Amino acid sequence: MQRLRFHLALIAAKCSIILIKMLGRNASHNPGAIALKICPKFMELAPKAPKVICVTGTNGKTTVANLLTDALVSDSKKVVSNRLGSNIVPGCTTNLINSLNIWGKCVVDATVYEVDERASRLILPYLKPDFLVVNNLFRDSLKRNGHPDYIFNILNTYCPDNTKLILNADELCSSQLKPNNDRVFFGIGKQETDLTKSINLIADYSFCPECGEVLDYDYLRYHHIGYAKCNKCGFHSHDADYLATTIDRENNTLTVMVNGEEQKYPLISDITFNIYNELSVISTLLELGYSYEDAYKLVSQIKVPDSRFNQDEINGVPVIQVLSKGQNSVSSSRAFDYVSEEKGNKVVILAMDDRHDRKKSVEYIGWIYDVDYEFFKRDSIKQIIAAGPRCYDHKVRLLLAGVDESIIHTCFEEVDSVELINWEEIDSVYILYDVYTYDLSCQIKEKVIKHLEGAK
Amino acid sequence: MIIELLYPRMCCLYGDKGNTIFLQKCFPDAEFVFTELNDKPYFLDNNVDLCCMYSMSEPNQEKALERLMPLKEELKEAFENSNTQFLFLGNSMELLGKYIETEDGYKIDALDVLDIYSVRHAPKRFNSLIRAKMEDITLIGYTSRFSDTFGITEELALCKNDVGLGSDAKSNLEGILTKNIIGTYLLGPLLPSNPDFAKWLIKRLGIESPTLPHEDVLYTCYKTKLNEYNIPDLELN
């Protein structure tokens, strides 16, 4: 009976894919939802690909899943991934459907799933992945994710015992996952720019998980990312099996130490979080059995989609959109750090207020006190315009961070921010936006461009 | 002025640190004591004006209790007789009750300072905007938690909500106020978000007519937000 339901569900889902595509839409969510409606055990019953790889974590999972898929496809492997769809149960089910033919036979070499970390409890036990890649667990949406310990507990409970984990040795939460599973670690060794004490407001996991003592760091990159050790009980971060030793930004190479052998790869992005993303891809390829030479060839063919930055230059004035994910203090602090370090006098427009909450609610804005607004206390930042319904909250936060009140401006409508710019004193315009305010940031950019073109 | 932060590395979820940043601006000359997890609370052996503890994950609640339970009697004595004001935000308030019941029914003994107890409901999470009356002050903020606290009476409650969940999701009584203990499930930057409440707290520290840093901006922000609570059919979560 269950098999019959499974086949009916598969046929219905396949038909829906044809229909949805005829309507010109991405058939990424609904086919999975239909299949699950007919056969709730679809994910469990469906045959799996010879290699099933799941990617999860707070930041970087989309990038890693896409890079990995691209690498495998460039090796002429037949691979499906949920890159166009959702990363919760229906989206992952659709991906599974795409790996099967109408008779329910698996027709791909591998499936790559980007898995929402909170939804992983409904996905991992049924997909039974061969590999689970986890880049990091940071603070994320308070409403949805609670806190990283809660997400850790979900992954630790629901990841099958025979899944091999590929983990970030430099991140002390996710690297403690499933201690009895087969695990390998990647990491970036000590770099010249590293610190030994955190300069960020938020540094979770800075005390020993074994004895509670404050941890020391051989090196600390940002927040709690680094190599930690406990002077009391001897606990320390995992040593990386795949350790990036040299990041050569001039020659765009990344040297990785593997089993005592130096392997040189192309550096596909010089931003630190993307180097972690690349390292997790290299580690996964090597774990899949690729030789260094083959892995090198595949990595040479992949490109990191840099959707976080978008730059135009009008009459010599750069106008830069920077993604600064709301509720995500690490993402936002990284963005603030990047903007504050850029050369030249600038105006920064903050357009990160939640898109949904403004309609019928009052956004809980407490997360901005986890973000390093202190980075904006630089002489090169000439104006900061807090734009959106929570503009006064940003103003209070900026003042408490020590930013001079005379450079802070506020407006309730994001696009009105452009009217407040004092063009005399700036060389560049930075627009910081949330995932859901991208369109508003584009409207701001358009208005800025219009002004700059008019000023020609 | 001496202000102690209890276990600030692990008790600082989602903007709680905003209160520390704010207090540092309010009292630039104060001594701030950051008590680490393996250290004895400073207020047990020293005069402290204000001790703050913020919210934490559930595993960390258990770590905190492991450290504090051996000091239970000393702590009770300090809560009862010291001049320290105590501010407990989020689920740190739960440590003061008789026990915390986990999702699978296991009861973790707590400090038994107050006749209350808490029950965890994970994965069910309570998210809610809150507006509450406390004497002539209107408090606004947000709660987000896996647990409820029961046993809070009218006499014990810090405030009464007219918008959002109480400490027990079926009640409108929120938080605790007894002698020198102030506790609330409101989390994050409670003080900079509620200038009237911040002044009320500072007065309890012996300062008669406090002026807040950037007071005009704080009030503009507060009033703007307070006004938004009147949106028809306000979505609470």
CB contact under 8 A, B235 and A361: yes
Rounded mean pLDDT of A351-375? 91
**Sole residue written with tokens 């061969």:** A130
Peptide bond into A90 cis (omega under 30): no
> Domain for residue B236, yes or no?
no
Q: Which residues of A touch B91 (CB under 8 A)?
A: none
Q: What residues in chain B have per-residue pLDDT under 50?
A: none
> Domain for residue B51, yes or no?
yes
Name the segment(s) of chain A with CATH classification 3.40.1190.10.
Answer: 2-184+263-300
- CA pair distance A276, A282, nearest whole angstrom: 10
Give me the number of domains chain B comprises.
1
**Sole residue written with tokens 């950051």:** B34
CB contact under 8 A, B214 and A368: no
Q: Which residues of B touch A367 (CB under 8 A)?
A: 14-15, 188
At residue A308, the pLDDT reads: 66
Q: What is the CATH number of the domain that holds B222?
A: 3.40.50.880
Comparing A9 with A21, the larger pLDDT belongs to A9
pLDDT digits (tens, 9 = 90+) for A25-45: 888 889 999 999 999 999 999
pLDDT digits (tens, 9 = 90+) for B132-175: 999 999 999 999 999 999 999 999 999 999 999 899 988 999 99
Rounded mean pLDDT of A165-175? 97
pLDDT digits (tens, 9 = 90+) for A413-455: 999 999 999 999 899 999 999 988 999 999 999 999 999 988 6
At residue A133, the pLDDT reads: 98
At residue A456, the pLDDT reads: 53
- The answer to whether residue B188 neighbours chain A at the CB level (below 8 Å) is yes
CB contact under 8 A, B214 and A362: no
At residue B176, the pLDDT reads: 97
Residue A353 has pLDDT above 80, yes or no: yes
B99-101/B107-109 β-pairing: antiparallel
- CA pair distance A7, A46, nearest whole angstrom: 9
> Domain for residue B235, yes or no?
no
Nearest to A207 among B10, B22, B225 (CB): B10
Nearest to A366 among B18, B37, B214 (CB): B18
Q: Which residues of A touch B187 (CB under 8 A)?
A: 366
Who's near B88: CB < 8 A, 6+ residues apart?
B52, B53, B95, B96, B176, B181, B182, B183, B184
What is the distance in angstroms between the Cα of B21 and the nearest Cα belonging to chain A?
Answer: 7
Residue A86 has pLDDT above 80, yes or no: yes
Name the segment(s) of chain A with CATH classification 3.90.190.20.
Answer: 309-454
CATH (residue range A309-454): 3.90.190.20
Q: Which residue of A has its CA nearest to B21?
A: A400
pLDDT digits (tens, 9 = 90+) for A222-257: 999 999 999 999 999 999 999 999 999 999 999 999
Residue A144 has pLDDT above 90, yes or no: no
A242-248/A253-258 β-pairing: antiparallel
Which has the closest alpha carbon to A332: A223, A445, A415?
Answer: A223
Name the 3-class secondary structure at A53. Answer: strand
**Cα A381–Cα A60–Cα A107 angle in degrees, nearest 5:** 150
Who's near B183: CB < 8 A, 6+ residues apart?
B86, B87, B88, B89, B92, B93, B96, B158, B175, B176, B177
CB contact under 8 A, B129 and A139: no
Give me the domain span that covers residue B224.
2-228
ipTM above 0.90, yes or no: yes
At residue B228, the pLDDT reads: 93
Neighbours of A436 (CB within 10 A): 14
- Name which of A142, A202, A235, A353 to mutate to probe chain B: the one with the most chain B Cβ atoms within 10 A of its Cβ: A142
> Domain for residue B95, yes or no?
yes
Rounded mean pLDDT of A63-91? 93
- The answer to whether residue B10 neighbours chain A at the CB level (below 8 Å) is yes
Fold observed for domain A2-184+263-300:
UDP-N-acetylmuramoyl-L-alanine:D-glutamate ligase (3.40.1190)
Q: Considering only A177-181, A323-327, A370-374, which range has the smallest mean pLDDT?
A: A323-327
CB contact under 8 A, B60 and A149: yes
Q: Are A262 and A272 in contact (CB under 8 A)?
A: no
- The answer to whether residue B103 neighbours chain A at the CB level (below 8 Å) is no
- CA pair distance B37, B56, nearest whole angstrom: 12
What is the distance in angstroms between the Cα of A231 and the nearest Cα belonging to chain B?
Answer: 13
At residue A310, the pLDDT reads: 83
pTM: 0.94
Mean pLDDT score of chain B, rounded to an integer?
95
At residue A270, the pLDDT reads: 85
Nearest to B57 among A150, A201, A365 (CB): A150
